[in-house]
Amino acid sequence: MLYLDSAHGSSSMHSAAVMSSAATMVPAEGLEAYMATGSTRSIKAREHVFSAGDARTHVFRIEAGCVCLYKIMPDGRRQVIDFAYPGDYIGLGCDTEHSLNAQALEPARLRCLPAATLTRLAGRDPALGLKMYEALSLELAAAQDHLFTIGQRSAAERVACFLLALSRRNRRRDKDPGLVVLPMTRSDIADFLGLTIETISRMLTKLRLAKIIDLEQCTLVRILDGMALERLAQGEAQL
């Protein structure tokens, strides 16, 4: 899951966060311990982990790779809800069926735990229940930030938020926040941000021409001016 969260740590009382995300970054030691008992599953690129409507038999933790969570209409319109990364949980929730589709963007490895087992354990161990609550609480905050981004921000602001979210994720994982890898296609990004691939491409070139980023490859973004990117994301500047 992405963390498209508040820009400069201390956000003012009434200001909305830049963005946040929908799979679940693990704040869950208890969960992790239980998870360790689960089996692993390897997934090929573009293969689905589960589809909307499938019975929610398992909860998964991403061990390696990146998974795209999305909803789709019969007419083909698709909304990407989140991208889940190693350490994130997917498939949490109470419904008996999954409401999202989960597709690997690259070869991935998952740790699986039967949902029934998790519910049973949580019925005995209140700490585990609270951890699951905490995990969902983060997902919810992420979804609400994403909602703000899609409902209120311009195309340039959305792309800036998206890149900043990936950069902050890197910082949290002790990876270089100045170098952002994009395991997803332009189409995935477009469906995540409620835009088209052409608009994504145009905004990236605008950012490049403004010397705010460099596109070393089309899947590799070097952030040259993080401050400018944040100002853009906050609507304090425009391209």
Partner DNA sequence: CGACTAATTGATCCAGTTCAATTCATGTGG
Partner DNA sequence: CCACATGAATTGAACTGGATCAATTAGTCG
For a second copy, which is the closer residue by CB, 69 or 108? 69
Q: Which does 9 bind (CB under 5 to 8 A by kind): a second copy, DNA, none?
A: none
For a second copy, which is the closer residue by CB, 103 or 167? 103
For DNA, which is the closer residue by CB, 125 or 198? 198
Both tokens of residue 129? 């229940």
Nearest to 164 by CA among 149, 178, 153, 175: 178
Positions in the binding site for DNA (CB under 7 A): 154-156, 185-187, 194-202, 204-205, 215, 217-219
Is the Cβ–Cβ distance between 159 and 196 less than 8 Å?
no
CB of 212 to DNA, least distance (A): 14
Q: Which does 224 bind (CB under 5 to 8 A by kind): a second copy, DNA, none?
A: none
Nearest to 221 by CA among 202, 199, 205, 237: 205
Extended beta strands in the chain, E state: 24-25, 39-43, 48-50, 58-64, 67-72, 78-84, 88-90, 101-104, 108-114, 179-181, 213-217, 220-223
Q: Which does 73 bind (CB under 5 to 8 A by kind): a second copy, DNA, none?
A: a second copy
CB of 188 to DNA, least distance (A): 8
| 141: CB partners within 8 A, 6+ apart | 5, 17, 20
Q: Which does 179 bind (CB under 5 to 8 A by kind): a second copy, DNA, none?
A: none
Both tokens of residue 204? 């990236």
For DNA, which is the closer residue by CB, 81 or 156? 156
CB of 231 to a second copy, least distance (A): 12
